[in-house]
Amino acid sequence: MEDLLSALNDWKPFRAIVVGDFMLDRLVHGEASRLSADAPVPVLKVERREDQAGGAANLCLNLRAMGASVSALGLLGDDTEGGLLRTILAGEGVSTDALITDPTRPTTCKQNLIGLAQGRHPQKMFRVDVESTEAPGEQIEAKLLAAFEAALPDADVVCIEDYNKGVCAPALCIAMIQRARSAGVPVFVDPASLSDFSKYRGASAITPNRTEAERATGMPTHAEASPEHNVKLARALLDALDLECVVLTLDRHGALVLTGGDPTPIPVPTIAREVYDVTGAGDMMLAGLAAARANGVGWRGSVRFANAAAGLEVEVFGVAPIPIEQIHNELLALHAGKGGGAPLARRGARPGPGGAEHGQEGGVHERVL
C-alpha cells in the first residue's frame, strides 16, 4: 500500500486511447404512481430527460477524472444521438477526432425509464435499446485502424471496452493489439461475454468477471467457486491469451490477480460497501487499472487502486466519474484503518441511473469489488 500511496503523491498526467462501443445513456425521469387504464402497466409521467455518456464513453470520462488526456475511437451514427454524444465528450475535454461516423448504423442509445413513486428512491422501470451489433464494413474498419495508428504514437495506454456491439470485431481488435504491442504500449481489456476470447490475445491485461471467464474457458461451476477453481480460470486465460496479467473479479470476494512473472495468485479482498447502484463499476475498474499502471504502479497496487475506485462508484446512483483526489483520500482512509466513509451520494456526487450494459449481458454485478 505504501508504494501505491507514494505513486498517488506523485501522480502524473497520462495519455489514453479508448477503443470500444460508445453509447448514449438517455435517462427519462418522471412520476410513476398509477397504472394504465388499458393495460396492467405503470404509467410514467415524464418530468425531465438527461443524456449521459455510456459504455466506452463513460470509460473516457473516468480516465479524464484520473488525469488522462483521452482520445475516443469508435463508431457513431449520423444522427442526433451521435451529435449529442460528441458534444458531451468534447465538453469534458475528450478528443473525438477518431470517432468515425457510419451512416449505415444508429448511435447506440439506451433509453432508461425511471419512475419515482410516493417519494421513494428512483427506480429503473424499463429500458429501450436502439443499436446495431453488426461488425463494421471494410471501409469503416480501415478508417478505424488508420485512426488508431495515427493516435498510437502519443499514447501511454490503450483501453478496449467491448460490449459486443460490433466495433471490436475480431480482425480489428487483433490488429490494434498487435500494433500496440509492437509499439510497446500496454493494452487493457474489459471483455464482452463471449465463448472465445482469442481476439484479445497479446493484450497486457484482461478484467473478466468469473462468469465471463468460465464461459470463455469452458470451465463452468454450478456452486460457489473455490479459490482453486478461480486460479485455474485465471491461469487458463493467462496462458491461452499470452497476457501479462489476469484480474479476475469475484463480486463480494474481491479480485484475484495472476501475472505471468509470478505463479503465486494475489487475492485482493473486497471492502464492505453500502451498495447503491452497480452501474459503471466495470468501466471504473478498467480505468483505475490503466491509470495506475500508466503511473508505474505494480499489478497488485494497481488492482487495489481500481478496487477502491470501483467501490466508490457503486455507492453512486448511476454513473459519475470519481476524481483522482477522492480515490486518493479513500485509500488514505483505508490505510489508516478508518474504512471508506459515507456513501458518495451524500458527498456531492452527481446522481442519476445509467445504463450498464455489462449488467444485463455479462454481469457487472460480479465486477463490483
- How many residues appear in the chain? 369
Q: In the chain, which residue ranges form alpha helices assigned H by DSSP?
A: 2-9, 56-65, 80-91, 138-151, 170-182, 210-217, 227-241, 281-294, 299-314, 324-335, 357-360
Say how far residue 116 (Cα) sits from the centre of its chain. Answer: 27
**Single pTM value for the model:** 0.84
pLDDT digits (tens, 9 = 90+) for 94-146: 999 999 999 999 999 999 898 986 667 778 889 999 999 999 999 999 999 99
Q: Which CATH superfamily is domain 2-23+62-107+135-367 in?
A: Ribokinase (3.40.1190.20)
Asked about 251 being catalytic, the answer comes back as no
Q: Round to whole Å and give the CA distance between 129 and 55.
A: 13
Cell of 342: 459515507
18 three-state secondary structure: strand
229 three-state secondary structure: helix
Where does the pLDDT of residue 312 fall: very low under 50, low under 70, confident under 90, or very high at 90 and above? confident
Q: CA-based angle 192:194:197, to the nearest 5?
A: 90
pLDDT at 206 over 70: yes
pLDDT digits (tens, 9 = 90+) for 22-54: 999 999 999 888 899 999 999 999 999 999 999
Closest CA to 291 of 302, 277, 279: 302
Sign of CA dihedral 369, 322, 246, 159: positive
pLDDT at 342 over 50: no
Cell of 20: 470500444
Q: Round to whole Å and give the CA distance between 147 and 141.
A: 10
pLDDT digits (tens, 9 = 90+) for 272-286: 445 444 555 778 889
pLDDT digits (tens, 9 = 90+) for 246-278: 999 887 777 899 998 778 888 877 664 454 445
Beta strands 14-20; 262-268: pairing state: unpaired
